[in-house]
Amino acid sequence: MDAPSPGPPLQVDDEEFQRLSEVLTLYHAKRALRRVAERNAYPAFALLSVKTGGNAISLDMVTSNWPTDPCDTLREAAGPGAELRTRLAEAISPFYLTPDQAALIAAPTPFVLCLPVYNDVGRGALFFASERDDGDDAHAALHLYAIYIYARVCALTRPRLPATALAPREIDCLRWSAAGKTSGEIAAILGVSENTVNSYLAAAAQKLNAVNRVQTVAQAIRLGLLP
């Protein structure tokens, strides 16, 4: 199949990035993806999660307006479905599905753009059905947006750590650390020793599975543990 001439870079305006904070449910995520799809004349989209364990690769639908669930056929053991599963588990750059792969997932258009998405929680893939091949250099903004909205969706579905899992003093130390205070400054504010502050922060890091202070604060904010 001969592809049409590549079009202009795909559009995701600054407002859409700013509106990511409004994505509070999967319903909001679907609305946001529909807006982006319509802006770029994409008739359908599908956001999938991709999980690996040993040699197994499993796929699950997150949200979509695709005619059918692409995961149903992609779970087949062999053929183009197996090849695509492997690529979804490994790819980091946008790519177009082959005609056989597009037909396998009942794409409503000749072309299917795949945007691999990933973060510290897991990996996924965002499909857009398209009437055109936009070329290799047109997807930067759209790919970045896809990664951000996938991170937002992961934060929505991630189990929240109860606030009681952190001691009050651990929360105090994290709150002041988030405000840019050093251990010595936090110690003076709380009336404890600097070693005690460091002990509180180390305990919080262990509970939040973080490797340093910055990651501990970020994880606490992400989980809504800091007032």
- For 189, other C-beta atoms within 10 Å of its C-beta total 14
Please give the pLDDT value at position 10: 55
Total-model pTM: 0.66
All CATH 1.10.10.10 domain ranges in the chain, comma separated: 163-222
AA letter at 118: Y
Domain 163-222: which CATH number of 3.90.550.10, 1.10.10.10, 3.40.50.12780, 3.90.1150.10: 1.10.10.10
Strands (E), 2-86: 44-53, 56-64
CB pairs under 8 A, 24+ apart, for 192-198?
Answer: 197/173
Looking at residues 158-183, what average pLDDT do you find? 81
**Separation CA 109–CA 225 (nearest Å):** 45
Q: Could you tell me which residue, 222 or 163, shows the higher pLDDT?
A: 222
All CATH 3.30.450.80 domain ranges in the chain, comma separated: 14-157
Flag the least confident range among 87-101, 181-195, 200-214. Answer: 200-214
Flag whether pLDDT at 7 surpasses 70: no
Flag whether pLDDT at 162 surpasses 70: no
Question: Which CATH number does 14-157 carry?
Answer: 3.30.450.80
Please give the pLDDT value at position 104: 92
Mean model confidence pLDDT for the chain:
86
**Separation CA 147–CA 119 (nearest Å):** 8
